[in-house]
Chain A
Amino acid sequence: MSDKSSLIDLLSMAEPKPELRLKIIRGVEKLTDICFKCMKCTSGCTSMKLLELKPHIIVNLVRMGFVDELVSSTMIWDCSICLKCKERCPQEVSPVDIILALRCEAVVRGLEAPEEYRSMLTCIMENGLAYREKKRVVEGVEYDRVKLGLPKIKGPKETFMNAMFMVFGEVLG
């Protein structure tokens, strides 16, 4: 259907999707097309060294309209949302907001979020925290909350649970 596209990525044979691009950038508060490729976002990205996340590539792929491959990639889930890219961008582009918009699109399409995210959600439903209670071993002695005299963690309230189900029902299955 898009045989009229003037642009094609010869490595993946992907073509731009202008409507999808508009859908992604519509929800982003700051202009993304203004990026002048200084790569300051990537230079400072918390997830770059371990996960090779390159925010400038995401911004510019969206700018060109190559959105499909991003939505289905695992790359967009690597962002730790430290907001450095947004804070320091000289052109006031916000790569993190684009990444979040792409994640939303992925969820809308019914694509599965990575296991870590799903287990995090389950955890929140159980005890209201992103991570499970952990036990620490210090000099051979095992400590947990009871041993440290800390109260038990209460689960979230029903209203919270309901709200969570409304939002994440599908993801949680």
Chain B
Amino acid sequence: MGGAKRLPRVGVFVCHCGLNIAGVINVEKVVEEAFKMPDVVIAEHYVYMCSEPGQKLIEDAIKKYDLTAVVVAACTPSMHEETFRRVLERSGLSPYVLEFVNLREHCSWVHAHEPEKATEKAIALVRMGVAKARFLKPLEKRKFKVWREALVIGGGISGITASLNLANAGFRVYLVEKSPTIGGHMLMLDKTFPTLDCSACILTPRMVEVSKHPNIELMAYSEVTNVQRVEGGFKVEVLKKPRYVIEDKCTGCGICSQHCPIEVSNEYDANLGSRKAIYIPFPQSIPLKYVIDVDHCIRCGACERVCQAKAIDFEQKPTKIELEVGTIIVSVGFKVFDAKRIIEYGYGSLPDVTTTLELERLLSASGPTCGRVMRLSNGKIPRSIAFIQCVGSRDKRFNEYCCRIGCMVALKQALLLKERLGEETEVYICFNDMRAFGKGYEEFYNRVRDSDIKFVRGIPSEVKAESNGKLSLTVYDQSTERFLELKVDMVVLTVGIEPSDGIESVRNVLPISIGFDGFLSESHPKLKPVETNMRGVFIAGACQGPKDIVDTVSQASAAAMKAAELLSRGEIEVEPTIAVVNEFKCRGCGRCEEVCEYGAIRVEEINGRLVAKVNEALCEGCGACSVKCPTGAVKVQRFKSEQIMSVVSAATYEIG
């Protein structure tokens, strides 16, 4: 637009955000003041600037007043900066001559009790926005090709769903799972709420589908050891751990396991049952290939002697595989709260105090007791069982958040116990709040309430052992105002969900940000629920926060959709707000290289002198290099000296 240098013509658009902003800030006054600011040719306010008429208002003003830059004073840029950038684009302006001023989070919400001062501050914020807008230059988005393959880390129900979705859309998927089988926690469950359909019946066919799908390469018993961001996506290094069993030869017959003399507790049975040193975690494992647990194997060679397929190979070494993928979905799941940490409930010292996950294994037909629920102290059938809710969740000593599955798990298990052990079995649920919030969940709660299960509204303080082998707990029930003593055969602790250790190992190679609770953070809870701070990396399932299977599956499909969006386009658009180097000022000291977390800036020799060079595909525009640069040679676009200084002088306008 126009070769000759034009004087800036700025338009200011103040949004009411309903009453969010206008309820506190005097928007008319802000507009009135904006008119007095330098180079402002038009200032307007509107009730919802993001709405269609609001956007139209800006579009019309751009044309009518021939604006060169636009200031929108509204909510947060993470909410609507993109929206208004598109408005500018439609009107023929560069989307990067938009300056977004946050009047809601930064002003009206935090100063709700002092409207006059808030209005003053709003004017100052707008003044700073205008000051910067005057110096904004049009920038061009950059596009880069993307490799059309995807990596999914974690083979639980979310990883499986995401992989299948992507594979069915025609993209090649590498599914990396650290344990010998895919399936994750869902494989450990007996039935799923609220429909009570069998967990394995839903999951195992999908697992088979994964293993048979021509577009999926399943890499079980493998870990991602390095991820390097490059143009085109990510260079990934996967370490395939040695199974000591040749996968191509193993038929999964299981004779080796029968002859193995070593028996250890099985972590896939919540350590209730046992397995051999050569084993498969579950009868329905995928891949159905045995694995030798070297920590326990004594190298007696019994398996080698009986294996007819000659599949045992003690000489196997870990192998490294290099992948080039355009996008990564992280779905590393969760871990169950360790109930030993709550000493008053005696888990770990009282054998009949169990957890919901252990009970799930006892209920499951593929579990250590083949579906017979028994007391772990004596193997007898429990006649009375009490659930304690919110163990390790909603507890400031451990995790402040709600585990979002505990209520439904306990309701489901209570119902199953009644079914399996007979109507005469007494089942108590000691709860505080019953949260049956999902579709069909309240109806399920109704059904459980109708099944002679006793709901005690109160949380017991401790579990004690009685001399006759029973467990006793006292609890004050609010509904009856009675102080109750329960003497039961079995106590089930409804344990919560915690971030899995996989989150830490993934973060070692992919620095995705985490929240205060330790779960991976999405970019925005509503607008970017599966995106992360890393471009091209998506998250799904319980690694993002506690959630049940229903939510996990939906989120996994969403992540797959987002990944497919990127892969089908085949290119990625990169913000132009990246670092640029003034080669004349740069003296090649390399401090920028040291601080860059993305490996996006390197010192190179150009025409016989050392100069920093930015890899445009990798730079995220964080500005670390700019801060570190001793000569001021590196600057981030939109944050150049004259732009920052103009904001500073506008901010100190009144001081003079």
Contacts and interface: CB of A to CB of B under 8 A. Distances in A.
Given A42-B476, A44-B460, A44-B474, A36 B394 contact: yes
Given A38-B432, A44-B474, A48-B476, A90 B397 contact: yes
A54 B461 CA distance: 13
The 7 closest A-B pairs by CB, nearest first: A44-B461, A90-B395, A38-B432, A42-B476, A39-B458, A40-B459, A38-B459
A27 B360 CA distance: 46
A44 B462 contact: yes
A92 B474 contact: no
A145 interface: no
Given A37-B432, A88-B344, A43 B476 contact: yes
B76 interface: no
A54 B457 CA distance: 15
Scoring B344, B394, B396 by chain A CB atoms within 10 A of each residue's CB, the highest score goes to: B396
A105 B390 CA distance: 35
Interface string A81-92: 000100010111
Contact of B461 (A36, A88, A91, A92): A88
Contacts of B433: 36
A64 to B, nearest CB: 16
Contact of B483 (A48, A84, A90, A91): A48
B476 A92 contact: no
Given A38-B459, A39-B478, A41-B461, A92 B397 contact: yes
Contacts of B396: 90-92
B603 interface: no
Nearest to B432: A38
A49 interface: yes
Contacts of A88: 344, 461-462
A52 B483 CA distance: 9
Scoring A45, A56, A88 by chain B CB atoms within 10 A of each residue's CB, the highest score goes to: A88
Scoring B395, B462, B476 by chain A CB atoms within 10 A of each residue's CB, the highest score goes to: B476
B475 interface: yes
Scoring A36, A40, A45, A92 by chain B CB atoms within 10 A of each residue's CB, the highest score goes to: A40
A43 B473 CA distance: 9
A36 B435 CA distance: 14
Interface in A65-83: none
Contacts of B344: 44, 88
Contacts of A56: 476
A38 B460 CA distance: 9
Nearest to A93: B396
Contact of A37 (B473, B474, B478): B478
B415 to A, nearest CB: 23
A92 B395 CA distance: 8
B97 to A, nearest CB: 48
Contacts of A52: 483
Nearest to B475: A43
A43 B458 contact: yes
Interface string B509-521: 0000000000000
Contact of B476 (A54, A84, A90): A54
A43 B474 contact: yes
Interface in A29-66: 36-45, 48-49, 52, 54, 56
Contacts of B473: 43
A88 B475 CA distance: 14
Contacts of B483: 42, 48-49, 52
A91 B461 CA distance: 13
Interface string B427-471: 000001100000000000000000000000111111000000000
A38 B397 contact: no
Contacts of B478: 37, 39
Q: How large is the interface on B (under 10, 10 to 19, 20 to 34, 35 or more residues)?
A: 20 to 34
Contacts of A43: 458-461, 473-476
A54 to B, nearest CB: 7
Nearest to A85: B461
B337 to A, nearest CB: 13
Interface residues of A, number: 20
A151 to B, nearest CB: 40
Nearest to B395: A90
Interface string A102-131: 000000000000000000000000000000
Given A43-B459, A43-B474, 9 more contacts: A36-B432, A39-B475, A40-B461, A43-B458, A44-B460, A52-B483, A88-B344, A88-B461, A90-B394
Contacts of B460: 40, 43-44
A75 B344 CA distance: 26
Nearest to A48: B483
Nearest to A90: B395
Contacts of A44: 344, 460-462, 474
A51 to B, nearest CB: 11
Interface in B367-394: 390, 394
Nearest to A34: B396
Contacts of B397: 90, 92
Interface string B91-126: 000000000000000000000000000000000000
Contacts of B395: 90-91
Scoring A41, A49, A90 by chain B CB atoms within 10 A of each residue's CB, the highest score goes to: A90
A84 B344 CA distance: 10
10 contacts: A39-B458, A40-B460, A40-B461, A41-B461, A43-B459, A43-B460, A48-B474, A88-B462, A90-B394, A90-B396
Contacts of A36: 394, 432-433
Contacts of B458: 38-40, 42-43
A44 B475 CA distance: 7
A92 B476 CA distance: 19
Interface string B465-491: 000000001111010000100000000
Given A36-B432, A39-B458, A40-B461, A90 B474 contact: no
A45 B461 CA distance: 8
B136 to A, nearest CB: 46
A41 B475 CA distance: 9
B398 to A, nearest CB: 8
B395 to A, nearest CB: 4
A90 B403 CA distance: 14
B47 to A, nearest CB: 33
Nearest to B462: A44
A44 B458 CA distance: 11
A37 B476 CA distance: 11
B492 to A, nearest CB: 17
A85 B441 CA distance: 33
B413 to A, nearest CB: 20
A84 B394 contact: no
A61 B396 CA distance: 22
Contacts of A91: 394-396
A43 B433 CA distance: 16
Given A44-B462, A84-B461, A88-B461, A39 B476 contact: yes
A72 B344 CA distance: 34
